[in-house]
Amino acid sequence: MSNLVGSVKITLSAPGPGGSTIAASAAVLPAFAALSAGVVDVPDATVISTAFGIPFGSIAVGATALLVHNKMGQAGTLKINGSAALTDIPDDGWVLLSMAALPAASKLTACSLTTTGTVDGSTIARSIEFYVLGDPV
């Protein structure tokens, strides 16, 4: 199978000093031959420090794009490739990593969010939404 090409675009703008505006934009075209997308359910009353792995599905070599949306109702601690905690992603926060091709070393092969408290899903279902592209040939 030949590569497919995704499109990741992001724009940042913010008020700058002296009434100026700071603006930046980026576009990345991640090559991929496999993808995994879906939702990880986070059950009500899940206890603190429970890790939820992002399914990479058939992606075995590495990811060229990863988009994760935390909908757990609380911050989730982000870990990449089994690392120690990198940062907490607040509820309704997003994480985006994207590259045009796989790096030579330290490929992106795993990601998880870990609960920072007991999950309250009594009024709304809690979850983690994810999209992973990878394994370009």
Distances (CA, A) of 70 to 14, 37, 58, 67, 128: 24, 14, 23, 10, 5
Contacts by 5-11 with C-beta closer than 8 Å and gap 24+? Answer: 5/29, 5/30, 5/31, 5/32, 6/30, 6/31, 6/32, 6/64, 6/65, 6/98, 6/133, 8/65, 8/96, 8/98, 10/96
The token pair that represents 58 in the structure block: 């058939």
Tokens of 103: 């790096």
Give the residue-averaged pLDDT of 16-28: 96
69 band by pLDDT with thresholds 50, 70 and 90: very high
pLDDT score for 78: 97
| Residue 2 confidence (pLDDT) | 78
Domains of the chain with CATH codes: 34-134 (2.60.120.10)
What pLDDT does 1 receive? 65
Reported pTM: 0.92
